[in-house]
Structure 1
Amino acid sequence: MTQTDSQPRTEAENNRYLDEIPDEVEMSLFDHLEELRMRIFYALIAVVIGMIGCFLVVKPLVRWLEIPARGVEFLQLAPGEFFFVSIKVAGYSGLLIASPFILYQIIQFVLPGLTRRERRLLGPVVLGSGVLFFAGIAFSYWALIPAALNFFISYGADVVEQSWSIDRYFEFVLLLMFSTGIAFQIPVIQLILGQLGIVSSQQMLKGWRVVILVSVILGAILTPSTDPLTQSLLASAVLGLYFGGIGLVKLSGK
């Protein structure tokens, strides 16, 4: 007897339904590799277009990134240093602008192999990941970078004149911003692990001592500077995100 849509499914039948891959299409290994090649090609084209567009307006971007270092004189210590800094800034900015299209290509590649249960996670995960990544960049720009720069400037203000290499400054700023954006993905990872039944919210909470240690180590690794203030701020943000992620997993019933 065929079950109609009006008849409620049992829990076992519902689990089987959610674990099915809708519209499954058989593809050979060569077809998968060819599709992967095309997705990567499209993503690279988007990055190149984004980089070119950002390079055309790179000077306003550079001035915007210099704002946290008020009162500091930037020096070009080698021929072409600012040119290569401009390429670096345009590269990071172009990658950031192209990231939604890159994410779309990734989704289109993996979507045919996802079950209905996994597809339910896709929307919240993609949206949450994007919001948290940009929140991490904003947190780094408005909190971490000013805190680190104020520490460095005030520490040697009465001894040395603040004249910095523009290349070293942007290496510090760009790395800190993107590493913070990556660190802000912790709640998304927790939500995925919880929804897939790998780790429950209770298990996450029980490991709080280990998480504190890991957050301190992570803060030291991800911050390109050695000052304790920046590392402490990032470690505190990681802890807040982790416990917030536990709350999300708990609210989802896991």
Structure 2
Amino acid sequence: MADLVDRARAAVTDRAELPGMSLMEHLTELRTRLIHSVVYLLIGFVVAYIFHERLYGFVQAPLDQLHIDLNFTHPTDGLNLYLKTSLVAGAILASPFILYQIWLFISPGMYANEKRYVVPFMGATIGLFFAGAWFGYRWVLPGAIKVLVLEFGKRFHPILTIEDYTGFFMAVILGLGICFELPILIFFLSLFGLVDAKFLLKHFRYAVLIIFVIAAVICPSPEPTAMCLFALPMLALYFLGVGVAFFVHPNRRKPKEANVA
């Protein structure tokens, strides 16, 4: 922990040499980026709602494969399903533009040679999220429903409500999509000099513990096999992050920059 604190202090000191903005300028810039992000989100929501029937079919497909119907207990449940799926789909559609607003906000605190990562950053962030969401939709969600409903609940009559299933669906899809962003988190920590590949490998056992705790929290099934299905991709992504940290850490880039100079 002390090592990590020292790295953070060194990174802050190094960044202090960059031209800064006043507090009011930061707040104004933050407000501008937030307003733009909300506008992009609203546009994405409107576009997604136009196709809300198709989105519902996408959400319903895992249940159709198992011949399970959805039920509702409140008159607004159907409308809420359309609104929630459209909001999430709209956020995904708007994500490249929202990510660009985030990059515009943090870019003044970065060196010129670091700003070249904008395109790889946006591509990797979106790609990893979609990979995690697809992994959850294609394998984890149908498997979890099959185990929980058809195996553990085989002696009972299942009545799945729209509200419960929508929350379950979003937890699996968004949870895995976010978990797959682990290399991006390591990328930024390494870019600012807070961690490096040696540090990540040295503390690998703690990373394994944290990953399995996260997998246990987001895994919808109590079976150890299902939890491992969540944890193993995250472990692979952790090692991918180690490789990323090796290449983008400032200590590795400085000798190259000195040779170019």
Amino acid at match of 1:173: F
- Closer, same or farther: CA 57–190 of 1 in aligned 2, 3 Å: same
Runs of 4+ in 1 over 6 A off after TM superposition: none
Name the counterpart of 1:33: 27
Moved more, 41-50 or 204-213: 204-213
Q: Matches of 2:186 and 2:152 in 1, distance apart?
A: 41
Identity over aligned pairs, percent: 29
2:144 to 148, 161, 170: 148
> Residues 135-177 of structure 1: CA distance to partner in whole angstroms, max 9, x if unpaired?
1111111111111111113314541223311111111111211
Aligned to 2:109: 113
Q: Which runs of 5+ in 1 are unaligned?
A: 1-17
After TM superposition, the structure 1 = structure 2 runs for residues 18-167 of structure 1, keeping only pairs within 5 Å, are 21=18, 24=19, 27-69=21-63, 70=65, 71-156=67-152, 158-167=154-163
Give the CA deviation at 1:75: 0.5
Equivalenced residues, count: 234
Can you list the C-alpha shifts for 1:73-130, whole angstroms capped at 9, x where unaligned? 1101111111111111111111111111111111222222321243244433332222
Q: Name the structure where helix makes up a greater proportion of residues.
A: 2
Q: What is the SS of the residue equivalent to 1:217?
A: helix
Aligned residue type for 1:105: Q
The correspondence for 1:241, drawn from 233, 237, 243, is 237
Query: Contact between 1:74 and 1:165, CA under 8 Å: does it hold in 2?
Result: yes
SS of structure 1 residue aligned to 2:194 = coil
- Give me the TM-score of the superposition, normalised by structure 1: 0.82
After superposition, the Cα gap between the structure-2 partners of 1:186 and 1:158, relative to the gap in structure 1 and judged at 3 Å, is closer
Q: Which of 190, 197, 215 is the aligned partner of 1:201?
A: 197
Q: CA RMSD in A?
A: 2.4
Within 5 Å, give how 1:158-237 maps onto structure 2. Answer: 158-237=154-233
What is the alpha-carbon distance in structure 2 between the residues aligned to residue 113 and residue 196 of structure 1?
10
Partner of 2:259: none
Aligned-partner Cα distance in 2 for 1:89–1:213: 33
TM-score (norm 2): 0.80
